[in-house]
Amino acid sequence: MNKFHIKKISEIDKNKLLKFYQASFKYEKSILDDFAWRYRLGFNNFEPLVLIIDNKICGHAGLISVDLKVEDKIEKAIWFTDFYIDSKYRSLGYGKLLTEAWMKICPIQITLCNDQSLKIFKKFSWSYNNNFIRKIKFYNFLNILPAFRKLDNSENFTDKLGNLRLEELNNKTISKIIKINEENFSQKSIGIVRDESWFKWRISNCPYKKNILIFSYENTYLITHVKKRNNLKILNIIYSSKDINSNLIKVFLNFSKRNHIDYLSYISKKNKLIDLCLPWERKLNFAFYSDNQKIFKKIKENFSDIQYIDSDIDYI
Q: Same domain for 111 and 153?
A: no
Provide the pairing of β-strand 263-269 with 232-240: parallel
Q: Which of 295, 314, 313, 301 is nearest to 68 (CA)?
A: 295
Q: Same domain for 115 and 253?
A: no
Would 315 be classed as within a structural domain?
no
How far apart are the C-alpha atoms of 225 and 70, rounded to whole Å?
29
Confidence at residue 21, expressed as pLDDT on a 0 to 100 scale: 96
Would 316 be classed as within a structural domain?
no
Confidence at residue 253, expressed as pLDDT on a 0 to 100 scale: 84
Confidence at residue 303, expressed as pLDDT on a 0 to 100 scale: 96
Per the structure, the count of domains in the chain is: 2
Q: Same domain for 165 and 108?
A: no
> Going along the chain, which residue ranges are E strands?
4-8, 49-53, 56-70, 73-85, 108-113, 127-138, 165-167, 190-192, 212-217, 220-229, 232-240, 263-269, 282-290
**CATH number of the domain residue 117 falls in:** 3.40.630.30
Average pLDDT over residues 182-202: 96
pTM: 0.91
Q: Same domain for 88 and 100?
A: yes
Would 236 be classed as within a structural domain?
yes
Would 97 be classed as within a structural domain?
yes
Q: Same domain for 61 and 198?
A: no
Confidence at residue 146, expressed as pLDDT on a 0 to 100 scale: 53
Average pLDDT over residues 174-202: 96
**pLDDT of 259 above 80:** yes
**pLDDT of 149 above 70:** no
Would 174 be classed as within a structural domain?
yes
Confidence at residue 140, expressed as pLDDT on a 0 to 100 scale: 72
Q: Same domain for 291 and 273?
A: no
Confidence at residue 255, expressed as pLDDT on a 0 to 100 scale: 86
**pLDDT of 45 above 70:** yes
For residue range 51-62, list pLDDT tens digits in order. 999 999 999 999
For residue range 176-187, list pLDDT tens digits in order. 999 999 999 999
Task: Identify the domain containing residue 172 by its residue range.
Answer: 134-281
Confidence at residue 82, expressed as pLDDT on a 0 to 100 scale: 96
